[in-house]
Amino acid sequence: MSFNNIIVKLSESGERIDTFLAKKTGITRSQIQKLIKIGNILVNERSASQNLKVRVGDEIAITMPHEEPEGLVPEPKTLDILYEDDHLIVINKAAGMIVYPGAGHSHGTLMNALAYHRRKLATVGSPLRPGVVHRLDKDTSGIMVVALSDEAYYKLVEQFRHRTINRRYIVLVHGNLEKDHGEITSIIGRSKYDRKKMSTRVKIGKEAVTRWKVIRRFNIATLLEARLGTGRTHQIRVHFASIGHPVLGDRIYGKKIEVEAKVNGKRVVKIKFPRQMLHAETLGFTHPINGLYIEYTSPMPEDMKEKILELRELTEEER
């Protein structure tokens, strides 16, 4: 639920924001103060402060957090399982599948399907995501590992923490990068303007490192390999958007869901991207119980192949 476009009138100017909103919405002052604290109240598109006094013409937006479902409901959905034993399972996640239940999507997730497939899951982690040591965004395809035993969970968490996991992504970005390889280093934190987004333009955040190299260049896009030195939320998407080369199809960072190019200076060709062109191709790690290194690779999905073919044909036609 949200309350948008609440406009302060002249007669209301000077009131404390919690008092003003309590009158306007019926939400209690204590609830409003909690919403301010977590950044869910914006005044003129900026996070509100607790002692703010509203002014005439201020535009206020409130986002009410959704209540999460209480338990994980098993659901018979198909999973592409690459490996499983009593301690862990490696899954090739399809684009469009959410990893675990949360606000606005209590069903149909990878964890709902896994709860049906494996009746016994790890007992550690959130009740809605037991055994989840990392995740992929909804529209990112590729390989994930989920712990099925508590011992595996703790040992996999340590590997992620010490950055010994091998993660290789294939990503299609807008435009052409000047160099053939490079490294993006910054801090990443929650955006103060939109609490659902991450940003490099923050005062407080965590170190993030993404290493990349060019696989193939097209006239309006570049196919890259990206390797994570860290695992921050939306890291690859945020990093490439921050250097002016957003992931194609990303509706949040860069919004390059359609690109167009002129062929020989005349005909305009448009290419649309149904989702963010990001694929977790390789995941390698030490098995937490037997100590053996295991690695799995997922082929590029068909929707990415199709878009690369369109870009290749466009580039060759331009020549």
Report the C-alpha gap between 221 and 173 in whole angstroms. Answer: 6
The active-site residue out of 58, 85, 86, 137 is 137
Find out whether 51 and 37 touch, Cβ atoms under 8 Å: no
DSSP state of 195: T
Report angle CA 122, 125, 131 to the nearest 5 degrees: 40
Could you write out the DSSP letters of every residue in 119-169?
A: S---SSS-TTSTTB-----TT-EEEEEEESSHHHHHHHHHHHHTT--EEEE
> Quick check: is 303 catalytic?
no
Measured torsion, CA atoms of residues 183, 196, 159, 90, in degrees rounded to the nearest 10: -110
Find out whether 187 and 206 touch, Cβ atoms under 8 Å: yes
Residue 178 structure tokens: 């000047």
Contacts of 301-310 with CB under 8 Å at 24 or more apart are 301/94, 301/95, 301/141, 303/95, 303/274, 303/275, 304/141, 304/170, 304/172, 304/277, 304/279, 307/172, 307/248, 307/271, 307/273, 307/277, 308/172, 308/216, 308/223, 310/271
Report the C-alpha gap between 220 and 259 in whole angstroms. Answer: 8
Could you write out the DSSP letters of every residue in 8-70?
A: --GGGTT-BHHHHHHHHH---HHHHHHHHHTT-EEETTEE--TT-B--TT-EEEEEPPPPPPS
Catalytic residues: 137
